[in-house]
Amino acid sequence: MTVIGLVFAGINGKMKEVNQAIFVSARDAVAISIGLISVLVFWLGMMKIAEVSGLLAKLSRLFRPLITKLFPEVPENHPAMGYILSNLIANMFGLGNAATPLGIKAMEQLHELNGRKPETSRSMITFLALNTSGLTIIPATVIAIRMNYHSAQPTEIVAPTLIATFSTTIAAICIDRFFYHRRAKRRR
Amino acid sequence: MRWISLISIWMIPAMVGFILLYSTWKKIPAYETFVEGGKEGIKIAVSIIPFLVGMLVAITIFRASGALEFFVGFLKPVLNLFGVPSEIVPLALIRPVSGNAALGIMTDLIKTYGPDSLIGRMASVIQGSTDTTLYVVTVYFGAVGIRKMGDALKVGLLADLVGIIIAVTIVLLLF
């Protein structure tokens, strides 16, 4: 991607812009990471309490039938389940800043389950597929922007967004399954 | 409308309060546990930095060089065939890559064409129903130090493509 970009910059005479873009974006990336510290510390601290007090395990017990189907490799009472669920719930309510730390923590637990190998496991890919399909119940930011620009009905997009996000999630699970079976076939 | 913003305002404080109440009931030392868990956050944030710098620089070069525009131009005639306004293409391409950039493009589309136009509605649904795959991949896998992504990226981006097609189709059908 970078090389294609550089070639295009040469052709389009945009080397100056690219030069600037490199350093601005590198600085932005560091700023994003540093900015994450506050939410990471807060939510990981909070969730540690939830984990130790057994709240997280209660949550995973509630959704056990659904989640064990999606993640057959994860043991039922493993804390990974709790983190996966709380990440998905945070995503659904549009709590982006809570979802990221929970997702990282879930990924870490899955990594541990995979024997700390430097490659992705089946459950990791499933978890990622669920996350990228952007399950939302209330697209709060979008509604706020529509209100800002005086929409007659700022919330009219809620129903279509819900339909879209749920069908996308189902599609993501299917795509994930398809790739899993392809991998399994190759190994044989 | 009001109850939605009310819920989003109450959501986080309610969660925090509930977790703390529950830990008091279970007699867990809340503060000590919080500090112990929070410490991990710093380590994770620092370990993400190199992954995020690499990804973001690559994406920005791709955009600043005009390469993105070139590919958008390619797609336009195909989309016009299906009655999809081509103004939506940059948003669809940016959405999996950068959340902030997508939000910027969406705001711009709504400002230019109005929130209740076809383009405004399409932009709203696309923004609401998909997520920034590349960012999620980079941050989640970066935090645990995975460099070989396997099928993860393919699955994520394919899901995004399907998601955007679904979002566009639904808006075309409903409005």
Q: What is the pLDDT of residue A4?
A: 80
Of A24, A46, A134, the CB nearest to B16: A46
pLDDT (tens digit per residue) in A74-112: 887 788 888 898 888 888 776 666 788 889 999 999 999
SS3 per-residue string spanning B22-45: HHHHCCCCHHHHHHHHHHHHHHHH
SS3 per-residue string spanning B27-91: CCCHHHHHHHHHHHHHHHHHHHHHHHHHHHHHHHHHHHCCHHHHHHHHHHHHHHHCCCCHHHHHH
Reported ipTM: 0.82
Flag whether residue A87 sits within 8 Å of chain B, measured between CB atoms.
no
Q: Report the range of poorest mean pLDDT among A38-42, A130-134, B8-12, B25-29.
A: B8-12
Report d(CA B40, CA A47) in Å as an integer. 12
Q: CA angle A102-B9-A143, nearest 5°? A: 90
Flag whether residue A170 sits within 8 Å of chain B, measured between CB atoms.
no
Q: Average pLDDT for residues A17-44, to the nearest whole number?
A: 85
Q: Report the range of poorest mean pLDDT among A167-171, B5-9, B147-151.
A: B5-9
Q: What is the pLDDT of residue B122?
A: 92
Q: CA angle B53-A41-A142, nearest 5°? A: 70
Quote the DSSP letter at residue A52. H
Of A72, A180, A167, A48, the C-alpha closest to B29 is A48
A151 with B120: Cβ contact below 8 A: yes
Residues B148 and B89 in one domain: yes
Q: Average pLDDT for residues B164-168, to the nearest whole number?
A: 90
Q: What confidence tier does A5 reach under pLDDT thresholds 50, 70, 90?
A: confident
The domains of chain A are located at: 54-187
Could you tell me if residue B23 is inside a domain?
yes
A132 vs A105, residue with greater confidence: A105
Residue B126, number of CB atoms within 10 A of its CB: 28
Which of A17, A25, A121, A147 would you mutate first to test chain B, the one with the most B CBs within 10 A?
A25
Q: Average pLDDT for residues B75-96, to the nearest whole number?
A: 82
pLDDT at A175 over 60: yes
E strand or H helix at A117: none
Could you tell me if residue B55 is inside a domain?
no
User: Which one of A13-27, B23-37, B46-60 scores highest in mean pLDDT?
Assistant: B23-37
Residues B70 and B154 in one domain: yes
Report d(CA B93, CA B133) in Å as an integer. 11
Place of tokens 């800043």: A97
CB-based burial, A122-135: b 16+ in 10 Å, e otherwise = bbbbbbbbbbbbbb
Residues B20 and B70 in one domain: no
pLDDT (tens digit per residue) in A49-64: 988 888 888 877 888 7
B163 vs B80, residue with greater confidence: B163
Q: What is the pLDDT of residue A142?
A: 82
Residues B18 and B70 in one domain: no
Residue B2 structural domain: 1-46
Q: Average pLDDT for residues A6-33, to the nearest whole number?
A: 83
- Torsion, CA B61, CA B104, CA A161, CA A97, rounded to 10: 80
Residues B31 and B72 in one domain: no
Which residues from B are below 8 Å from A17, CB to CB? 64-65
B11 vs B52, residue with greater confidence: B52
* B163: nearest CA partner in chain A: A168
B49 vs B5, residue with greater confidence: B49
Q: How many domains does chain B have?
A: 2
Q: Report the range of poorest mean pLDDT among A109-118, A122-131, B62-71, B103-112.
A: B62-71
Of A39, A171, A107, A37, the C-alpha closest to B164 is A171
Of A34, A49, A93, the CB nearest to B45: A34
Which residues from A are below 8 Å from B170, CB to CB? 160, 163-164
Contact A124, A83 (CB under 8 A): no
Report d(CA B10, CA A91) in Å as an integer. 16
Residues B76 and B151 in one domain: yes
Residues B2 and B31 in one domain: yes
* B160: nearest CA partner in chain A: A133
Could you tell me if residue B136 is inside a domain?
yes
Of A139, A164, A140, A149, the C-alpha closest to B172 is A164
Q: What is the pLDDT of residue A110?
A: 92
pLDDT at B1 over 70: no
Q: What confidence tier does B2 reach under pLDDT thresholds 50, 70, 90?
A: low
B52 with A29: Cβ contact below 8 A: yes
Q: What is the pLDDT of residue B3?
A: 66
Could you tell me if residue B61 is inside a domain?
no
A118 with B147: Cβ contact below 8 A: yes
Report d(CA A103, CA A109) in Å as an integer. 10
Mean pLDDT of chain A: 84
Could you tell me if residue B53 is inside a domain?
no
* A50: nearest CA partner in chain B: B19
Residues B26 and B96 in one domain: no
